[in-house]
Chain A
Amino acid sequence: MLEIRFHGRGGQGAVIATVMLAKAFFKVGYQVQSFPVFGVERRGAPVEAYIRADKKDIFIRTNVYTPDHVVVQDRTLLQSIDATRGLKQGGWILINSPEPPPDLRPFAGFKLAFIDANAIALRHQLGTRTQPIVNTSMIGAFARLFKTPHITAVAEAIREEVPVEAEANTDAAEDAYNEVQIVGMIEGRNVS
């Protein structure tokens, strides 16, 4: 079973990102579960949402504690949350950022990728400069890293979930798919 955690801020669409990605996984033959961290929704506050995907039926109904991969929709979160909490060794961490984090030490033992989703969102006029809507870019980049679900399934899921501005959102996902910067494994910690 694959478990993925999304970090975002209230209003950025992290929950919808997991719903779209879950739908994309479902389209390519996976059983899925997606849910937000169960809390009270406030704009700007840190938000977490999860996906489970498996070829078999999913019975478990608990929070996700040891994700296989993590997606961070807002790099300012890195200062306030432990984005790699419980992340499995060798798991991917995908960050919305124009450049790699200055300090790579916290990511030792994990694989790193980044994507300037803010710029892509603005290019396609999704959201505003102070609040770009980056969720569709993030799942487009995700599709590149993991191959599954394929970008066409992701685009289909986007069209279903956001029928308004579907074109701009699928274009953003495809741009992110092409532009994601893959750093790869960060060395520097003894993996025991």
Chain B
Amino acid sequence: MKQVLEGSQAVAEAVRLSRVTVISAYPITPQTHIVEYLSDYVADGTLKASFLKVESEHSALSSLVGAASCGVRTFTSSSSQGLALMHEILHWASGARLPIVMAEVNRALAPGWNIWADQLDSLAQRDTGWIQLYCEHSQEVLDTVFLAYRLAEAVSLPVMVIMDAFFLSHTYEPVDVPGQELVDRFLPAFEPKFQVDTDDPAAFSPLVTPNFYMEMRHNTAKAMEESIAQLAEIEENFSNIFGRYYGPVEPFLCDDAEIIMVTSGTMTGTSRQVIQELREKGEKVGLLKIKLFRPFPAEIIRKTLGSVKKVAIIDRNFSFGAGGIFAQEVRAAMCNLSDCPQIFGYIAGLGGRDVTTDLLEDIYWRTKKSEVPSGESIWMGLQEENHAVERS
């Protein structure tokens, strides 16, 4: 039934319906309402799970590594500095092939202290072996939690379900919350491929010498690769049951487009409106939403973007000394094409600054009017600033 929910509650509802057994979280800033709702559900018996209130995000994920090793379904959520503190254990979770699911609310890293939307926190964890899915609206967030558990358990890798702070986490909108029966049909009980079991003792996490380490990594690499095909299969099953489909990427009005804008997260919704308006004015413009970032769906991106003249990638993140991270990845995916489009990288919306319809339109017209990009990264909407680091 459709109801008006806060984005954070949409996550909590999905976790409840996924029959998660162990939730562990550090409940203080930069945490969001997600774990508040879940602790209520556990306290009032709506969700039969253990809720571990730990003293840090490092411990939150460590305790889930323990719980998941015992073969149960687990959940945590975090943001910005909290996710950064989990960094060491993020590697551990994927290396140990544990299907942990985390809701990651994109919040900017400090300094300066800022709790607003910015993707650098999760993108800085791109090499930790976690599958990453970036969501556009609350319905997608709720649905993606179900997809995440199926995918994580199919390929034995942890998954981050990622959503913009405030624009999604604190926004109320109608969400279709399915009944338990329907969710159970899609997401059966977790059957671990391995687990700590006193009746079947085994050693976990031994020293892995150079003779085996590389094969172990290669196995994880293969599981990552396999997750693209797995996700396609799982989504087909999902859409048969729920009638909704998202895909690893979503092309929107791309068929005859000469310029394609590339977005992720909530700016995608605003871009849909802008692109429709530009289309009504006769502009040949399309949109490519990237949802799956790890593994990076390079092949399908090449297919969608390969034949256009120009691509404008909008990044709500910045890697110092390199550029917008989605732009880097798209460039790397395209570089061997014989007729590569001109790729424009735009930086916008850092630290929660609004990505408005005017700004998105401006990006389109700049891209149309320029033959080649004026630089690696074009920062949008900057105010006058003082670069000096000394006290003046």
Contact = CB atoms under 8 A, between A and B. Distances in A.
B362 to A, nearest CB: 14
B83 to A, nearest CB: 19
Interface in B244-283: 266-267, 269-270, 272-273
Interface in A5-48: 18-19, 22-23, 26, 31-36, 38, 40
Nearest to B29: A40
A23 B175 CA distance: 12
A60 B359 CA distance: 13
Contacts, number: 59
B356 interface: yes
Interface string B165-205: 11110111110000000000000000000000000000000
A35 B270 contact: no
B352 A38 contact: yes
Residue among A19, A26, A58, A62 with the highest chain B CB neighbour number at 10 A: A62
Interface string A42-66: 0000000000000000111111010
Contacts of B174: 26, 31-32
B170 A36 contact: yes
B81 to A, nearest CB: 16
B4 A62 contact: no
Contacts of B170: 35-36, 38
A40 B165 CA distance: 13
Nearest to A25: B4
A31 B171 CA distance: 13
Contact of A35 (B116, B171, B267, B269): B171
Given A38-B116, A38-B352, A60 B270 contact: yes
Contacts of B270: 59-62
Given A31-B174, A32-B172, A33-B172, A23 B4 contact: yes
Nearest to B266: A61
- Interface footprint category on B: 20 to 34
Contacts of A32: 4, 172-174
Interface of A: 18-19, 22-23, 26, 31-36, 38, 40, 58-63, 65
A61 B172 contact: no
Contacts of B173: 31-34, 58
30 contacts: A18-B172, A19-B4, A19-B172, A22-B4, A22-B172, A23-B4, A26-B2, A26-B174, A32-B172, A33-B171, A33-B172, A34-B172, A34-B173, A35-B167, A35-B171, A38-B116, A38-B165, A38-B167, A38-B170, A59-B269, A59-B272, A59-B273, A60-B269, A60-B357, A61-B167, A61-B168, A61-B267, A62-B270, A62-B355, A62-B356
B354 interface: yes
A60 B277 CA distance: 12
Contacts of B269: 59-61
Nearest to B168: A61
Contacts of A35: 166-167, 170-172
B268 to A, nearest CB: 9
In the A-B complex, list the 8 residue pairs whose CB atoms are closest, starting with the nearest.
A38-B166, A35-B171, A61-B266, A59-B269, A34-B172, A59-B272, A59-B273, A61-B269
Contacts of B137: 61
Contacts of A65: 356
Contacts of A60: 269-270, 273, 357
Which of A22, A40, A61, A65 has its CB near the most chain B CB atoms (within 10 A)? A61
A23 B266 CA distance: 22
Given A34-B172, A35-B170, A62-B357, 15 more contacts: A18-B172, A22-B172, A32-B4, A35-B167, A35-B172, A36-B170, A38-B166, A38-B352, A58-B173, A59-B270, A60-B270, A61-B171, A61-B267, A61-B270, A65-B356
